[in-house]
Every structure is written in C-alpha cells, then in structure tokens.
Structure 1
C-alpha cells in the first residue's frame, strides 16, 4: 500500500459549502498525530458513523476528519516500546471520528494509550464485527454483573434487538448463561433472533405497559438501546435488585418514571458510555469478548461487508431504519 498517497472517507463542514463527505486521496501529514502508525484492515458502521457521514447528526467536534469510530489493523511504525511493527491492534471510540481521524482510511495514527493489542482468540475481522456495538453490549453486562446481576434473577430484555448492539447482546448474554428476551418491531426477523439464542421475541408495537409505578416483575434486567417510552415501560417490570443498562436513545432523550422501582425494588439504572471507557476496563471487556463471552454467531451477525466506496449507501439505509445486524468495512490487508 502506498504510504505517500492513500484513500480515506473524509468529512468536511465548510462555512461556505456546508457538510460534504467522500473518498479522498490523503498524505501522511494530513493524519491526526499519534505514536502508532497503523495500516488499517477493517472498520465497521455504527449509527454514529451514519450520522457523521451524512451530516445528519453533530458527531464531529472538528473538521475535516476521516470517519469511522472503529478500527483494526497492523502497526507499521511505532515510537513506543510497548508496540512493535507487525502487532495487530484495535481501537473503538476514544475520540475517533470526533476529535481525531477515524478508521475509514487505509492508514491511521493512534495514541498508544488508546490502542488495544488484539486479544488471543479474536481475528481482526472478528474484532470489527464486534466493534463499538459488541463492546457496548459487553460493557453493559460487565456493569450489570458488578451490580450483582445473575441469571437467577430472570431473563434479560434486549431492546432494539435487530441492530448491531442488540444482536451481539443476544449472542454475548446467552453465551454468559443468561436467558434473553428480544424486543423489536421487526417481526419478520424474529426467527433470526431466535437462532442467535433469544428464548422469546416480543413485538415492541404490541407491548402493553400499564403506566403503573410498579407492575408484575417480568425481567431480571435489560439492555436498553431505545430510551424514551421504552425505558419508562421497562422500569416497573424489573425484578428486585435487577439492572437496566442504558446505551441508546433511538426512542427519545426523555423518559418518565417514579422513584418506586428504585426505592421499593432496588432497581439500578446504569449508564453505558463506551467512548471514554478507562483503559483497564476496556482491556477487561475485550479479554472477555475473546474468551468466555465470545459470540458464537459472528458471521451471521455480520450481514453486510463493503469497501469505502459502499459507505454512503450503508449510511442512508441505516438512518432509514433498514439495517439488520452489523456492516463490516474491508479496507486493506486483512491477513
């Protein structure tokens, strides 16, 4: 691969012409600084990437930047002894495509503090099928278990179950010994969710929340990608001392609740903020994802694979609600 001139999906927001994004030819001096120069093998597509790439969401804090909040590849140059040429590394979140160049590029510079050595048990490809989505699902479970979540409390409800986070959560949580109830409006995909391990699939359009401060407990806990009315409805249904890990807001930023689930049942509401996760926790999550929490069905969950040229179509499909599973972005040398 030519290091003097290489391709990247770059996002601009100029005062005169506004938002524009597309594939450009860059030189090394255009990249954000970092101790590691990485030849990129894979990235992935997350909802934030679609918002950033289309300009329909305020994700980037400076311009121009290369898109892509996930990246995996091989080190080709390092100024720190902890990483050597040829090392396989990954990075998710950590300011990629927000304050510095992201993974939609044939090369990326990374601060050594953000780069995670590829754990034994994962390939570069697998790490990007997981990406921020899998990391989010696993971080949610790690936080729930830190608050004494266990399979004995009952099934974990996973909302937005046909998205990347949701599908990976079903696979990860069942791998960890939990029963999972999948909640989605895409009833035509219920068979696929059952094949991933969901014991029950619930149509979100048919869920009848009573509006009571407390209702008959139905779930041991939940991973909620939706927020809004969904989160309001789930809180009264969680078993005593169960947990809801909140990681998305597709259904709205605001939710209504009383204090009753918290002071009567001891329910915990946990925030899952992946981008700035401390390194020791980040490493712990990736080790679990490479071992006892490694999903069984990654190839089923990776429903689409594109190169940089295919990103624009993927973004539009995702924002229109038409995506299913994870989209892998193949960029460079993948061996």
Structure 2
C-alpha cells in the first residue's frame, strides 16, 4: 500500500483527497516506478482545485512530474534500479501522475536521469526547469547570445522564471526579471538578475512598437505582457513563449514581426519529442547552478499538498515546490 492524492468527480462536483492505494489499482503501462519525489506545479493546482478542466478522465492521480527508480520493466530501454524522470505526456491529466508512492507508466515517456543530478534535484528542476531549459535552447537556436544584449524573463519569481533567470545568468546573459512582487527583488538578484522590472510597466496595453530594449525573452504570461515584450524586442530578436498565466489572448499586431523581424518561438514541454528532452536534461546537468536551485526550492509534505494549491493560482508561490514521496531513494 502507498499514499496518493486522488481526484474524483461525482454528480455533486469534483473532490480531492489523500488516500491509500494498492499497486494493482494503477493503470496500464510497461514500467512500474517507485516514486521518490514529485512536485506541485501551476497545472497541478488547476487540476486539484478544478479551476480549469485540466483533468480529462476520473478518477485521477495528479502530478505532472516525478522522479524515482524502476521497480519492474517490460520496456527494453529500462531495467529495475534505473533512475528516471518524467515530465508531461498528459500524466496527471489523462494518465495517473506523480503524487503517489508508485506509478505505472509508458516507458517511452521516461528519461534516464543524467549523472550528477539527484532524484531530489530532478524534481527541484521539474517541468518548470526543464521548460526553462527548452526556452533557453530556443533562444540559442535563433541566434540570441550573451553578446546580443539584455534578455527579459516574465513571471521571474515563479518556477519557470526562477530557473530561467539562474540558467541565463550562469550562461553569461544580462537578465531583466519581471515580477509583480517587488519584495522578491533580492531573491531575483541572488539568482543572477541584473535588472528588476515591475510587471505593472508591461500590464497595460501599449504601442504596436516600443523602444527597442530586449534581444530576447522568455515569457510565461501571455496576454498584454507578452504583447508589450514583443513590442520592445530588438531587431531580429526572439521571444520564447511557454505559458499563459496572464491570459491566452495575444493583443498585438504584426508590426514587431514584419518591421523588426522578431521571432515568437512557441515552447511546448508536454509533448516535446524524447531526443529534445534528453538534450535539455543533459544541458541542465551542465548549465544549472545547483546551489541556486537549492535556494529556490522548498519541500511540502504530501499531506499538505491539497491545502497549498490555491496559493499557486493566487501568485503567492516563489520558486519550486517539491514533494517527498520516498525521499530515501537516491
């Protein structure tokens, strides 16, 4: 038996509770994983609160991330004892996820954990950090280098933003961190941000083209914030967009694209092909400052996860929140 969070739906509505489960209850899959650590993400909060129709089938164990060791495998790529990490693939939405002591999964979804990263660190990185790395790689692919100029990161005090700031700073970029919580300025500076930008400066509709400022950007907000970032992006700059915390709309014009040659690069971490995932995790092992990662990470017991979820929707969470499941696993 093991503990798990379970989301159920009845005629009266959605419920979420901490319960005990047996391995036999797990859905189909060719690899059984003993979960060491999971995380609490914005999408998990949406799923558990029912604020958005994230969950596609019920009952559902939430948790879009997990790290652990293989217990059983019918997949030739994995053997018992292998350390693995999982991000996305609809886990926690369509297939039972990581907020449980065990998970049975499709082995093609799993990535071997690179040497140099512990199971705990893998979840301190999580989907947020893996997405941040994909965004950095997108900027590099489009020619944005540290010599290109300032790079802006929106939602900088959140999970994706915090890791993005730390990654960019270690790689030598001049980082401008956008936040609606100016009391987090010291935190963002400690991660490597050189400039702090009040989100209010980007939260109101602006001109189709603003003064050129940023060589590139990583945006988690969407909406008006992204429109204003694009308007102030330099000639042939690139903005990697990976989130919608500020809204799904994009009230912009074609001006940044046809007059300045700006590129808007969409970054999806959920269905990202496995070779790109492996490349991102290998880069994280090399390019992330793990002391800074530790500084942005807090632990939350599984029993306290449900009560904490509203904080994510209210923008009250700093950095990364990880959940110990079987923390003795290394």
Same fold by TM (over 0.5)? yes
User: 1:211/1:54 Cα in 2 relative to 1: closer, same or farther (>3 Å)?
Assistant: closer
Cα-to-partner distance string for 1:245-276 (whole Å, 9 max, x where unaligned): 11111111112222121112110001111100
CA distance in 2, matches of 1:211, 1:105: 45
Q: What's the counterpart of residue 135 of structure 2?
A: 140
CA distance in 1, matches of 2:205, 2:216: 18
Q: What's the counterpart of residue 204 of structure 1?
A: 199
Task: Report if the CA contact (8 A) 2:203-2:225 is conserved.
Answer: no
Cα-to-partner distance string for 1:42-75 (whole Å, 9 max, x where unaligned): 0011100001111111111111111100000011
Task: Report if the CA contact (8 A) 2:202-2:229 is conserved.
Answer: no
1:63 aligns with 2:83: no
- By how many angstroms is 1:296 displaced? 4.3
Q: How does 1:288-327 map to 2 (within 5 A)?
A: 288-302=283-297, 304-327=298-321
Q: How does 1:162-311 map to 2 (within 5 A)?
A: 162-207=157-202, 211-302=206-297, 304-311=298-305
Q: CA-atom RMSD, angstroms?
A: 1.5
Matched residue SS, 2:286: coil
Task: Report if the CA contact (8 A) 1:171-1:295 is conserved.
Answer: no
Aligned length: 329
- By how many angstroms is 1:292 displaced? 2.7
Range with bigger deviation, 191-200 or 23-32 = 23-32
CA distance in 2, matches of 1:208, 1:326: 24
Cα-to-partner distance string for 1:77-126 (whole Å, 9 max, x where unaligned): 11123211111101011111111000000000121101111101211111
Choose from 155, 158, 163 the match for 1:160: 155
Matched residue SS, 1:113: helix
Give unmatched runs, 5+ long, in structure 2: none
- By how many angstroms is 1:295 displaced? 4.8
CA distance in 1, matches of 2:157, 2:42: 13
Q: What's the counterpart of residue 11 of structure 1?
A: 7
CA distance in 1, matches of 2:193, 2:75: 44
User: 1:318/1:310 Cα in 2 relative to 1: closer, same or farther (>3 Å)?
Assistant: same
Q: What's the counterpart of residue 113 of structure 1?
A: 108
Task: Report if the CA contact (8 A) 1:161-1:184 is conserved.
Answer: yes
Cα-to-partner distance string for 1:194-234 (whole Å, 9 max, x where unaligned): 01100000111245878332222111111111111111111
CA distance in 1, matches of 2:310, 2:25: 27
- By how many angstroms is 1:293 displaced? 4.0
TM-score w.r.t. length of structure 2 = 0.96
TM-score w.r.t. length of structure 1 = 0.95
Give unmatched runs, 5+ long, in structure 1: none
Task: Report if the CA contact (8 A) 1:10-1:67 is conserved.
Answer: yes
Matched residue SS, 1:109: strand
